[in-house]
Structure formats: structure tokens, C-alpha cells
Amino acid sequence: MTDQLTSNSSGFIPEILVTTVIEPLTAKSVVLQQNPRVFDSSQPLRVPRIGQATVGWYAEGATTNIDNVAVDEVDLLPSTLESLRSLTVVSKQLLRSATVGVSEVLSARISTDIALAIDSAFLTGSGTAGTNVIGLINQPGITSATYAAAGTGGTIVAGSLQDTDLWLSTIGAFTAAHLNLATSTFVIHPTDLYATGGILQAKDTLGRPLFQPNPAAGNPGSIFGVPVVAVLFSCRERHLATQ
């Protein structure tokens, strides 16, 4: 039997794979829930990238300067890129003796494992370009800022995650980089949200929470209007990353 590779096959996704893995995977992966743009292709995908042009004011009839803008492309899916796989083997005896649907159990287990692997890779992956995934915090052009350790006894330390000024400065950095806050999200480790010294435990002098959670909506809420999602894989070395 000949293996199906990118060099000899255009690739396809059987319907059973979509219903048992892809759809539940999308619902479980924090990264995929942020609605990233997905290109439905199994072939190498090259996306053009154009640098910033110089814009100026000109008098009527004046010659407009020609701007030699840098142009290149981003190779999003090279054939050398390793694929994410999972192989689970079950016996015929299990299929015969199981009292619940084995396919449903396998679908839940496989999709959960792959979702965790995707979130880990896309957020903190330290791979090699063209071979495996380089996570968000390891991408070139990422700005990181060290934050202070949390205080004790209800004391809020300046520059810690409980300090509201830290988050305002972070949002300011986002805005200065021309990022759209309407499509931005804070991805935070659960410990930084809920544990002692965590963000949601910060209170003012009257004991009122400084950050408002939103558990009814199934998520931690927002920080100054920017949505928050909790994920096990995030930059936990006291850094905030923005791009």
C-alpha cells in the first residue's frame, strides 16, 4: 500500500474525521475558539506580505514620489512542516463488551488530547521554522514585559497582575501598535486568575473586586472591556506578551 503524502496526494478529510475529531476539537481548543482564519488547504500556502508605504501631501500637479515598498511572502504550510497526529488502538473485545458507545468515548478523548497539544504549541511552542510550530510568545516581534510578584495580606503590589495600572498600560501598548481591541483577547493561566494573589482576588480598600468576573457566561469575564480566556498553557514566567 502506498502512503498518502503531500507529494503524491492532494489530500482530503473524510466525513467521519470531521464529525469525530475536527468539530469537537474546535469546541475544546481555546486557540481555535478565538476564530482564527483557517485556510482549507493541504498544499503549501504562500501569503503575500507588503511593507508600509510612505504617504505624503502633494500640491496639485506635483509629481508623486515612487515608493519602493518591501514585498515578500509567508510560507504558512511548507511540505516540511510536521503534522499533529494521534493513534488510539482498541480491541474487538472492547467493542463487543462496552456498555457505552466506544466511538463517542474515543472522539472525546482524542479531541481533548489534540486540543491541549494545539493550545500548547500555538501559545508556547518553541519549534523550528518550517518543521514545527513556533508559539505566539516565541514569535519574532513580540514585546514582553516582566510583572512583579503578587503581594500578601491583600496588599496590591505595583506592577503585579493585581495592579490595574499594569493592565491599562498593556492595553495602551496594544493601541499604540494599532491593534484592534475589538478582536483582542487576554489569554491567562487559571492560576493567575483564581489562585491566591490572582487577578480576580484583587480588592479595593472597601473589599470590592477590582476585576469583575462573568461566570454566568462560562468565562472569567473581561479586563477593561477586553475578553479573558483561561488556558493551561500561557506565558507563566511573569511576562505579558503583545504584538
Kindly report, residue by residue over 47-72, the tens digit of the pLDDT: 888 888 889 999 999 999 888 888 88
| CA atoms within 13 Å, Cβ hemisphere of 103 | 5
| CA atoms within 13 Å, Cβ hemisphere of 120 | 9
What per-residue confidence (pLDDT) applies to 60?
92
Nearest to 124 by CA among 235, 7, 222: 235
Residues of the chain with pLDDT > 70, as a percent, come to 86
What per-residue confidence (pLDDT) applies to 236?
47
Please say if the pLDDT value at position 177 is more than 60: yes
* Contact partners, residue 162, CB within 8 Å, separation at least 6: 150, 151, 156, 197, 198, 199, 201, 202, 210
- Where is 187: in which H helix or E strand? strand 186-188
What per-residue confidence (pLDDT) applies to 226?
85
User: Would you say 86 and 114 are in contact if contact means Cβ atoms under 8 Å apart?
Assistant: yes
pTM of the model: 0.71
Kindly report, residue by residue over 4-39, the tens digit of the pLDDT: 555 555 554 567 777 778 888 888 888 888 888 877
Long-range contacts of 123-126 (CB under 8 A, 24+ apart): 123/31, 123/187, 123/231, 123/233, 123/234, 123/235, 124/233, 124/234, 124/235
What per-residue confidence (pLDDT) applies to 221?
77
User: Would you say 144 and 241 are in contact if contact means Cβ atoms under 8 Å apart?
Assistant: yes
d(C-alpha 220, C-alpha 170), whole Å: 18
Q: If pLDDT is split at 50, 70 and 90, which confidence band does 241 have?
A: very low
Kindly report, residue by residue over 209-226, the tens digit of the pLDDT: 777 766 555 566 788 888
What per-residue confidence (pLDDT) applies to 237?
42
What per-residue confidence (pLDDT) applies to 77?
78
Averaged confidence pLDDT in the chain: 79
| CA atoms within 13 Å, Cβ hemisphere of 233 | 18
What per-residue confidence (pLDDT) applies to 240?
43
Please say if the pLDDT value at position 46 is more than 90: no
What per-residue confidence (pLDDT) applies to 32?
87
Nearest to 241 by CA among 165, 173, 182, 161: 173
What per-residue confidence (pLDDT) applies to 242?
40
What per-residue confidence (pLDDT) applies to 87?
80
Average pLDDT over residues 131-158: 83
Structural domain boundaries in the chain: 15-48+68-124, 141-242
Residues of the chain with pLDDT > 90, as a percent, come to 3
d(C-alpha 122, C-alpha 138), whole Å: 10
Read off the DSSP letter of residue 143. Answer: E
List beta partners, residue 186: 228
What per-residue confidence (pLDDT) applies to 4?
53
What per-residue confidence (pLDDT) applies to 88?
80
Hey, is 116 helix, strand or coil? Answer: helix
User: Would you say 7 and 79 are in contact if contact means Cβ atoms under 8 Å apart?
Assistant: yes
Grid coordinates in use for 156? Answer: 496590591
